[in-house]
Amino acid sequence: MEKEEKINIETLKKVYFIGIGGIGTSAIARFMKAHGKEVVGSDLKPSGVSEGLEKLGIKINYGQVAENITDDIDLVIYTASIPKTNPELETVLKKGINAITYSESLGLIFNGKNGIAVCGTHGKSTTTAMIGGVLEDGGIDPSVLVGSIVPRYDSNLHIGASKHFVAEACEYQHNFMALYPRIIILNNVELDHTDCYANIDEMKESFLGFLRHLPDDGVLFCNGDDENAKEVSSRLRAEKPGVEIFYFGRGGNNDFYFKDFKVSSGKVELEAFYKEENLGKFFLKVPGEFNARNAMAAIALGTYLAIPPEKIKSSLENFSGIWRRFEIKGDYKGALVVSDYAHHPTAVSVTLKAAKEFYPERRLVAVFQPHQHNRTRGLYQDFLKSFDSADEVILTEIYDVAGREEKEDQNVSSANLAEDIEKRNEKFKGHIFYAKDLAETRKLIDEKIKPGDVLLIMGAGDIFEIADELVK
């Protein structure tokens, strides 16, 4: 945090981003541009995100070389995945230019505001976007930073007029430790990022460390249906009894809860309560019980901030989702194409279950690209159970994440996963297929797809490109 204290945003003139096309760094780049800074950056190749930045007049170097780092740069912001051997970062360090990570830069603009941080293994982006919408529709105009593209902003960043700042807080490499919010929403705690956390206990300790950043009069909204999240929150209560804790979820043992969860005609219906008070019926366009819980977090916060229930209802009913979160792309050969970011076993499982609930009469074809060999190896047994709601499965080879893979992880393949899923569940005999790359994945889709199917394409790597191509 020492670096942050030395940096005065007001005096910055030129800011350079290494990995500017990242979903987080691109939001900070937008913020700096909106505040009158000269913004330049680099990335390995163009993307929809980087092209959006270029439309704002931001210069992007495609290729990372030492010559890109000029002496007039005041501050360099880089993604956590950039290795110290990166030629641009090496040059920055040699020149003594002030350099901070993406998470530190988020802290730079977030801390000191009425910060609302959304954390958890799953659901951060959707919950952040829902909360941003509820607050804005409720007359509070917050700044909002989301790890995805939100249709209402056509961006991953909204700069609001109020002192409220809603931001997604990521646990990878303990990145959220750079943030000091007044309010935290804790969605869930599960083992993930196995290259960073050895076990669930390390995950819980990291989340507890972040919750400790709440001031003594801070507020925590915690998913009371998640045992790990409850454990972490109870430990915080023992340490900081002044922090107000509200639980949300499905069970009536929560402060904010829903019941009568129904799915019909492509909508989710639920009835929400605050203790004994009936807040009324709420409708969602986004599927799944997991999204009902995300919505309950927004309902709880909105109620706490005195936003009338009718405004919360209207905002959530109009929420149509975000980029790559059950994003309906269109039709291909009579099948509905849906793109989703799910890459953790639980996220894959609940997304497939939600799709089956939404479209019970349709055949569900799941196309999945595992993300990172280390995660696939560390959570292998959980992945074997993730696809039970699907009728047909295509597994693309694992997406290799540069700088995050170890040699010992390379001996696991999607081919192993396909074989072991078939062994575990006989229904997949002749209905699960392995593709060595995206080209072969596309061929298998063309062979297997039928009119009326739901084609759900999932993963955090480059698998989304197929979804985009199919509905061009």
Q: Which tens digit of pLDDT belongs to each residue from 91-120?
A: 999 999 999 999 999 999 999 899 999 999
Asked whether 312 and 296 are in contact (CB, 8 A), the reply is no
Q: Which tens digit of pLDDT belongs to each residue from 387-440?
A: 999 999 999 999 987 655 566 667 899 999 999 999 999 999 999 999 999 999
Mean pLDDT of 28-45: 96
pTM assigned to the model: 0.89
Helices (H) and strands (E) in the chain, counts: 16, 21
437 by Cβ neighbours in 10 Å (0-12 / 13-18 / 19+) ranks as exposed
Look up residue 308 and give its amino acid: P
What residues form DSSP beta bridges with 432? 393
Q: Which tens digit of pLDDT belongs to each residue from 78-93?
A: 988 888 899 999 999 9
Region of poorest pLDDT, from 125-139, 151-165, 402-416, 433-447: 402-416
**In this prediction, what percent of the chain has a pLDDT beyond 70?**
97
Asked whether 389 and 346 are in contact (CB, 8 A), the reply is no
Look up residue 148 and give its amino acid: S
Mean pLDDT of 249-263: 93
Checking if the pLDDT of 3 tops 70, the result is no
Element (H, E) at 166: strand 164-168
Domains belonging to the chain, first-starting first, are 2-102 (3.40.50.720), 111-317 (3.40.1190.10), 327-470 (3.90.190.20)
As given in the structure block, the two tokens for residue 202 are 């390390």
Q: Which tens digit of pLDDT belongs to each residue from 209-241?
A: 999 999 999 999 999 999 999 999 999 999 999
Mean pLDDT of the chain: 94
**In this prediction, what percent of the chain has a pLDDT beyond 90?**
88
As given in the structure block, the two tokens for residue 391 are 């009728």
φ, ψ for residue 417, nearest 5 deg: -60, -45
As given in the structure block, the two tokens for residue 380 are 């292998």
Question: In this structure, is the dihedral angle defined by the CA atoms of residues 434, 366, 362 and 426, taken in order, positive or negative?
Answer: positive
Nearest by Cα to 193 from 415, 376, 385, 341: 376
Q: Write down the pLDDT at residue 404.
A: 52
